[in-house]
Amino acid sequence: MALTKLIPKIFYADIAVGLKFFTEGLGFEQTYNDESLYIVERDEILLLLVIDEELGKADRPEIRIETDDIQAIYQEIKTNHPELLHPNLNYIKNQPWGLREFAVLDPTTVCVIFQQTID
């Protein structure tokens, strides 16, 4: 038996904010939607965006996405949507725990950290 994928669910009071952040800002494609559930995907990453007025205002999640080319994803975001870069980690930083990281932040403070293992 193996665990093969983690699929985060992110709640938004205003789903348009989440859709804009992930599709326009981070290059995900919306692959499904109904009255309250939206699925966005990019490469092997799948996220569930859900409309929920109450939970959309609660503590906002931090999500980590591993990549095999952190420089390319950083350059893509910095070039096309530099306003999304997190003010506290808006550059690629080598962390003492063996990862290269940078972060982006949506208007509701959902934080996405992109990471790559330091070889």
Query: pLDDT tens digits for 31-49?
Result: 999 999 999 999 999 999 9
Say how far apart CA 114 and CA 65 lie, in whole Å.
5
Measuring CA to CA, which residue among 12, 25, 24 is closest to residue 112? 25
pLDDT of residue 109: 95
Q: Where are the domains of the chain?
A: 9-117
Count of CB atoms within 10 A of residue 35's CB? Answer: 5
Amino acid 101: pLDDT: 97
Q: Which residues of the chain have pLDDT under 50?
A: none
In the chain, count H helices and then E strands.
Answer: 2, 8
**CATH number corresponding to 9-117:** 3.10.180.10
